[in-house]
Amino acid sequence: MSLRIIRPDLAVPVVVKPGQTAVDAPPPPEPLREPTVAELAVNFTGAMGRWIKAGVPVVSAEAYAARSAICSPCEHWDGRARLGLGKCKAPGCGCTSLKRWLATESCPLGKWPATPVHQAV
């Protein structure tokens, strides 16, 4: 059995297991935060570099729909952002729904993989 307590120095609940004191308990993981503008620029540049280097492959409409079915209910997805293109607020991302067309890209949290299916002409 474990006990959730508030450590004043952390101001958040921590889980204390039998044999531990509140001081011994590890702090909880940091909450996920949105990428900064600089991180967005790095992520975008990296994504475009991978995509161009691979020959600009795009996924099929079915694969795009499958990726969308995963992203749309995701807790990190804001479908109203960026004039309706949406925005993933997960660290290491910041993408819009357009990223789902890029075969070389994947979900930063491992919810969908890169799937090179079609090569653009």
Binding site for ligand SF4 (CB under 6 A): 70-71, 74, 76-77, 88, 90, 93, 107, 109, 111
Residue with tokens 């940091």: 30
For residues 61 and 4, give the distance between their C-alpha atoms in angstroms, rounded to a whole number. Answer: 46
Residue 81, number of CB atoms within 10 A of its CB: 13
Q: Which is nearer to ligand SF4, 14 or 93 (CB)?
A: 93
| Beta carbon of residue 62, minimum distance to ligand SF4 (angstroms, whole number) | 17
Q: Which is nearer to ligand SF4, 22 or 57 (CB)?
A: 57
| DSSP SS3 for 32 | coil
Q: Which is nearer to ligand SF4, 76 or 118 (CB)?
A: 76
